């Protein structure tokens, strides 16, 4: 008995289909893994950026009202910025503000009235520089670096404090952007 109409697949055809589907599955899973990894990195960077923006906003709001800094240290154990909020006022519990970062923990604190409160964590660098003391360039630059695993973000801001280096209201220039003339 001879069967003239054979239906089915040969072993070679099945093996070829399995190999082709394996290659396509490999490309598909590699693409999905890349998309997931990109999403996770972007999510981590967004979180770091939001935290850094919050910290910079807190610091720059305080710096706008600062007088001459009393302590200005970028060290290995602590990075400290301490100032009075009013020009010519000695430090006391009502007008002094201190920002300091502990290098061992990476936490940035704000201290006022004898109470320290953390405002940020994972901070690997907190650098404060006074750019100049000339008549119309009294600005302060603050730069922070936040790190979370292999992701890092650096955020900086330059502020022209309204009380920095000014003994009266006549010579305030706000970094050369404009000048207050009160007579």
CB 140 within 8 A of CB 81: no
Residues 63-102: tens digit of each pLDDT: 877 766 656 676 666 677 777 666 555 555 566 788 888 8
Residue 19: pLDDT above 90?
yes
For residues 144 and 41, give the distance between their C-alpha atoms in angstroms, rounded to a whole number: 20
pLDDT for position 21: 96
What are the boundaries of each domain within the chain? 35-159
pLDDT for position 111: 85
DSSP state of 137: B
From residue 30, give the alpha-carbon distance in Å to each of 22, 34, 42, 60: 12, 6, 18, 44
Neighbour count for residue 127 (Cβ, 10 Å)? 15
């Amino acid at each position: 008995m001879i069967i003239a109409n054979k239906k089915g697949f040969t072993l070679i055809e099945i093996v070829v289909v399995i190999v082709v589907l394996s290659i396509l599955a490999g490309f598909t899973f590699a693409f999905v893994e890349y998309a997931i990894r990109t999403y996770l990195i972007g999510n981590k960077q967004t979180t770091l950026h939001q935290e850094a923006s919050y910290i910079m906003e807190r610091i720059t709001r305080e710096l706008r009202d600062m007088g001459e800094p009393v302590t200005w240290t970028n060290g290995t154990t602590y990075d400290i910025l301490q100032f009075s909020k009013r020009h010519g006022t000695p430090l006391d519990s009502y007008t002094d503000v201190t920002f300091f970062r502990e290098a061992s923990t990476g936490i940035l604190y704000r201290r006022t009235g004898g109470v320290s409160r953390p405002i940020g964590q994972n901070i690997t660098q907190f650098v404060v520089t006074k750019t100049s003391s000339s008549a119309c360039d009294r600005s302060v630059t603050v730069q922070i670096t936040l790190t979370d695993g292999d992701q890092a973000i650096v955020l900086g801001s330059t502020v022209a404090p309204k009380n920095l280096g000014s003994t009266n209201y006549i010579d305030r220039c706000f970094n050369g952007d404009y000048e207050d003339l009160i007579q």
